Amino acid sequence: MLPQLKRCDISAQRATTDAATARRQYQEAVEESGRLEARIQAFTFSAQTEQSQLISELRGREDALRKLRTQQVTLQETISRQQEQVGGQLNHLRYDTVFNMQ
């Protein structure tokens, strides 16, 4: 073969090999991209699930706090009424004691 043709043949073989390598690397990159996308979707789903659970837990705690606040107000009102009743009874006892002693 002529040296120039031999060099062209070698260059063509290298180009073919380089093209095959480039196709393989491209395919590997596409596959890796797919794997990464799947991982991202899994993380996103996991994060959304966790967020939903946390929101649900937060709502439950907020409901519990509202109930406790309502109970606190009710108990404070009950205590105030009972204190008024006891105060009235004490005043009545004092009045009776003062007038009965005379």
Give this prediction's pTM. Answer: 0.54
Q: How far apart are CA 29 and CA 72, in angstroms?
A: 63
Model pLDDT for residues 31-78, shown as the tens digit of each residue: 999 999 999 999 999 999 999 999 999 999 999 999 999 999 999 999
Confirm if 5 and 12 have CB atoms less than 8 A apart. Answer: no
Q: How far apart are CA 7 and CA 2, in angstroms?
A: 9
